Structure 1
């Protein structure tokens, strides 16, 4: 009788769907996420630029929460990194942070919400 290791099988299956060309993403990075949008029979890529304020889960379920401020209103969007809807992820700048979740940025207004840039 053949015994199957279910966790190993799931890991092998998930690994075929993981994206290989993703940059190292950290909390506080300003990123530009290209999202594929289908309108009728046309497909285009729309970019969403903001700061990563949270990162959750691991492997194929990794999500990042990206926050941007548009006309004084904060907008947050959660992206499933390994989704086929995500075309590209580009790191624009990195910031020095000492927290794993930057939810405190929601309460700050204007220049107070700036993060100190980290140079590599």
Structure 2
């Protein structure tokens, strides 16, 4: 059982707006990067392979293919380094974890598309 002050702390950090997305969506995540006192934004675009909801510790994994190599990155959902999450496409999948995409080529995906609105 969590203490009351831990619950209040988590609620204060979770108040930030995060758009709804699920597994299969194609997202663009803009990340703040500090280099020599300068802050710049770097974007990472990919398919959401997995999503773990554990309150303040919730994470999601993005996968993309660059130069014929698969790249995966795990992002904490409520991290302060994430400046913006943009939804590019909505795809329907029946599974909650898409780890089988690691063995497939991008053109081989059979995906049903979902309307945004």
In structure 1, stretches of 5+ residues that fail to align are: none
Pick the aligned partner of 1:77 from 73, 78, 81: 73
Counterpart for residue 62 of structure 2: 66
Q: Secondary structure at the match of 2:13?
A: coil
In structure 2, stretches of 5+ residues that fail to align are: none
Residue 43 (1) aligns with residue 69 (2): no
Whether the aligned pair in 1 keeps the contact of 2:16 and 2:78 (CA below 8 Å) is no
Query: Segments of 4+ in structure 1 off by > 2 A?
Result: 5-9, 113-116
Q: How many residues align?
A: 116
Give distance in 2, aligned partners of 1:43 and 1:115. 37
What TM-score, normalized by structure 1, do the two folds share?
Answer: 0.89
Residue 30 (1) aligns with residue 26 (2): yes
What TM-score, normalized by structure 2, do the two folds share?
Answer: 0.91
Residue 21 (1) aligns with residue 17 (2): yes
Q: Which has the larger radius of gyration?
A: 1
Give distance in 2, aligned partners of 1:18 and 1:88. 15
